């Protein structure tokens, strides 16, 4: 890679960084923004919340992608109103991606929300991983962990709003595209994350495209096509370039992430799900990515907000 390209890419990242807020009350009055509610991986010593991303449009928070443990604190700091959230989309159901769901659903009953909330996530595998709808039942059903919230998932809810849960096929290669409102269009595809059912999400809002691919090893190379022409591609930076063994069955190495972003022709790549395996290795990871990708590379931290 030439020095000129390195300087250009670094300069572009610096220019983009000027639009980020270290601890924002809101992202910006106009346009589409991605706020990082959780940039960590679920570790107890990283000082970051688990994966969670809030999508804003014209100063209104519309979509929450993943509800990792600790993300509710970031949501409170963001200044967002839960009333305006149309959907919660989950890339997977492990606690580091869904742990704060009860906090959001519980808090909403004391809100003035009256609009239906859609919670979408992967289907189960009939073995070690339950589906999104079953998770909602086990949490909020009449015999679930929080039965006092059972009315939220009934056809006729008495909380003032209703939660609708949707299972998205997490096997095969078929693209699911059955969510569209006045403001947002969303689609999903299964991605390979070991034996864990997982999805990548594509959010189209105000002529901008955000793809949150979550954790994947890209063994079938489905993400580049799904993320084609994305304005922002959000991926998991969970393993180092020299990782071996089982970790490579779960995650993509930095060089692979660079190839994916390049093939998708993504305008920027945001690296979330950072952990002790990758923190402190940013320069090495960046070099591996830049061998293939010339766009902006942004390492996420809690509280940052990036304008598209």
pLDDT, position 110: 59
In sequence order, what DSSP letters do the residues of 211-261 get, joined into one string?
Answer: EEEES---TT--HHHHTTT-SEEEEE--S-TT--TTHHHHS--HHHHHHHH
Task: Give the C-alpha separation, 53 to 33, whole Å.
Answer: 10
Q: What is the pLDDT along the chain (308 residues), one digit of tens a residue?
A: 333 333 333 333 333 433 333 334 669 889 999 999 999 998 988 889 999 999 999 999 999 999 999 999 999 999 999 989 999 999 999 999 999 999 998 887 756 677 889 999 999 987 889 999 999 999 999 999 999 888 877 765 555 568 899 999 999 889 999 999 999 999 999 999 999 999 999 999 999 999 999 899 988 899 999 999 999 999 999 999 999 889 999 999 999 999 999 999 999 999 999 999 999 999 999 999 999 999 999 999 999 999 99
Q: At what angle do helices 71-78 and 101-108 cross, to 10 degrees?
A: 40
pLDDT, position 259: 98
Q: Residue 132's CB: how many other CB atoms inside 10 A?
A: 27
pLDDT, position 15: 35
pLDDT, position 16: 40
The string of pLDDT tens digits covering residues 116-164 is: 899 999 999 878 899 999 999 999 999 999 998 888 777 655 555 688 9
Q: To which H or E segment does residue 12 belong?
A: helix 3-17
The label of the residue with tokens 């999104």 reads 132
pLDDT, position 19: 38
Phi-psi region of 258 (alpha: psi -120 to 50; beta: other; left: phi over 0): alpha
What are 193's strand-pairing partners? 195
Token digits for 236? 């998991």
Q: At what angle do helices 282-290 and 254-264 cross, to 10 degrees?
A: 40
Is the Cα torsion angle 126, 129, 132, 138 positive or negative in sign?
A: positive
Q: What is the mean pLDDT of the chain?
A: 88
The label of the residue with tokens 């601890």 reads 23
The string of pLDDT tens digits covering residues 277-302 is: 999 999 999 999 999 999 999 999 99
- Global pTM? 0.89
Token digits for 107? 């808090």
Task: Give the C-alpha separation, 228 to 216, whole Å.
Answer: 17
Strands 305-307 and 32-38, sheet pairing: antiparallel
With contact defined as beta carbons under 8 Å apart, do 75 and 122 qualify?
Answer: no
Domains for the chain: give ranges and CATH numbers.
3-81+173-307 (3.60.15.10)
What are 165's strand-pairing partners? 119
Give Cα 46 to chain centroid, integer Å.
18
Task: Give the C-alpha separation, 231 to 50, whole Å.
Answer: 23
């Amino acid at each position: 890679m030439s020095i000129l390209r390195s300087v250009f890419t670094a300069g572009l990242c610096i220019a983009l960084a000027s639009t980020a807020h270290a601890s924002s009350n809101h992202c910006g009055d106009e346009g589409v923004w991605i706020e990082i509610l959780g940039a960590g991986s679920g570790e107890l010593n990283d000082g970051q919340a688990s994966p969670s991303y809030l999508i804003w449009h014209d100063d209104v928070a519309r979509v929450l992608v993943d509800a990792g443990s600790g993300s509710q604190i970031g949501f409170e700091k963001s200044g967002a109103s839960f009333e305006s959230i149309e959907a919660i989309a989950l890339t997977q159901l492990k606690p580091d991606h869904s742990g704060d769901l009860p906090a959001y659903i519980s808090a909403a009953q004391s809100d003035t929300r009256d609009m239906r909330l859609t919670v979408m996530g992967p289907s189960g595998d009939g073995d070690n991983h339950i589906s999104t709808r079953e998770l909602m039942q086990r949490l909020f059903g009449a015999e679930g962990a929080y039965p006092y919230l059972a009315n939220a998932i009934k056809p006729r809810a008495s909380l003032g709003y209703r939660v609708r849960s949707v299972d998205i096929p997490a096997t095969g290669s078929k693209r699911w595209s059955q969510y569209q409102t006045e403001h947002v269009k969303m689609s999903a595809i299964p991605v390979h994350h070991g034996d864990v059912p997982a999805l990548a999400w594509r959010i189209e809002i105000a002529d901008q495209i955000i793809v949150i691919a979550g954790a994947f090893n890209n063994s079938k190379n489905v993400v580049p096509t799904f993320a084609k022409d994305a304005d922002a591609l959000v991926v998991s930076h969970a393993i180092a370039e020299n990782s071996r063994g089982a970790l490579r069955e779960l995650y993509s190495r930095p060089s692979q992430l660079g190839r994916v972003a390049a093939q998708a022709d993504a305008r920027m790549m945001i690296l979330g799900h950072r952990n002790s395996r990758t923190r402190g290795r940013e320069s090495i990871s960046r070099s591996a990515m830049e061998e293939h990708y010339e766009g902006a590379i942004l390492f996420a931290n809690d509280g940052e907000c990036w304008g598209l």
